[in-house]
Copies of this chain bind each other. A is one copy, B any other.
Amino acid sequence: MRHLIIYEMIEAVHRYGSIRKAAEDCNITSSALNRRIQAFEAEFGSEIFERVPQGMRLNAAGELLLQFIRQQQHELSRVNSQVADLSGVRRGHVKIACSQALIPYFLPYEISKYRSEFPDVTFSVNVRDRIEAEQALLNFESDIALVFEPAHMVTFEIIHAVHQPVTAVMSADHPLAHRETLRLRECIEYDLVLPAKQFGVRMLLEAAASRLGRKLEPVLETESFDMVRHFPAYSQAIGFQIPVGLNRSARTDMAYVPISEKDVSGGELYLGHLKGRALPVAALKFANQVAAALSN
């Protein structure tokens, strides 16, 4: 869309904080870009950048405009996907922000399944914690989010929610491996592998431990859910994960035992999008498929 290229230029200037650097990115000279920005500001009726000795910084009006630009680009891509839909071919791009837990099994499977039906739909997947995920929706960086226990859900419109008990991960020969459910106090006797503090699973475990009057002292704390899942294979340590991040049939050398809801109440995995914003056709169809998958 050549007539909207000025928007991309504005975004570039904002990103680089410098006309000269942004100009390089736009394959244009700085003078040309400079004049386009100036012409735009004149038309817009107000400056959108603050000129500081270090370069360009968006002012309040610019922030407002940037919000508009992103929304507008999102709407345009939605219209495009609807138009593509009209001609029978289902094309489009789905942008997903999700928790790490969805990465190993759930999303790869669901995306493959969707693409087997609509091969012209492409995807982008960004791992975001529950705070960043909401930001991604607001920035129009993502169409839909799939997050465990989101922090504040004011702008988050829920498509589907599913309960996820916190589940202990251990090697198949662990003393507790044969149990149906576990109490938290039993787990604490072993070495613990916990996700970092910003994650929902950790938050639920901490809350439960403090109710027991105990403190969690992990031998390994990590931001990688893969580490939490795989470390217990090589020791008697116990990791924690939510069921959607586990695949019982994949590894017979591991055991997955849910923690009793009496101790740890579990949390909700939410599938949602930005409130008041219509989804592109492809994103909507994919969201429906995911919602159906989560229901089982």
Contacts and interface: CB of A to CB of B under 8 A. Distances in A.
Interface of A: 1-4, 6, 40, 43-46, 60-61, 64-65, 67-68, 71-72, 75-76, 79-80, 82-84, 86-87, 276
Contact of A3 (B6, B75, B82, B84): B6
Contact of A65 (B4, B68, B79): B79
Contact of A46 (B3, B60, B87): B87
What is the interface of chain A mostly: helix, strand, loop, or mixed? helix
21 contacts: A3-B4, A3-B40, A44-B80, A44-B83, A45-B83, A45-B84, A46-B83, A46-B84, A46-B87, A60-B83, A61-B86, A64-B82, A64-B83, A65-B79, A65-B83, A67-B79, A68-B75, A68-B76, A68-B79, A72-B72, A72-B75
Number of copies: 2
Contacts of A276: 276
B79 A75 contact: no
Nearest to A79: B68
A251 B47 CA distance: 53
Nearest to A68: B79
Nearest to A46: B83
B79 A43 contact: no
Contacts of A4: 3
B83 A61 contact: yes
Nearest to A67: B79
B60 A86 contact: yes
Nearest to A2: B43
Nearest to A4: B3
Closest 10 CB pairs of A and B: A276-B276, A61-B83, A68-B79, A3-B3, A46-B83, A60-B86, A64-B79, A64-B82, A1-B43, A3-B6
A3 B83 CA distance: 23
Contacts of A76: 68
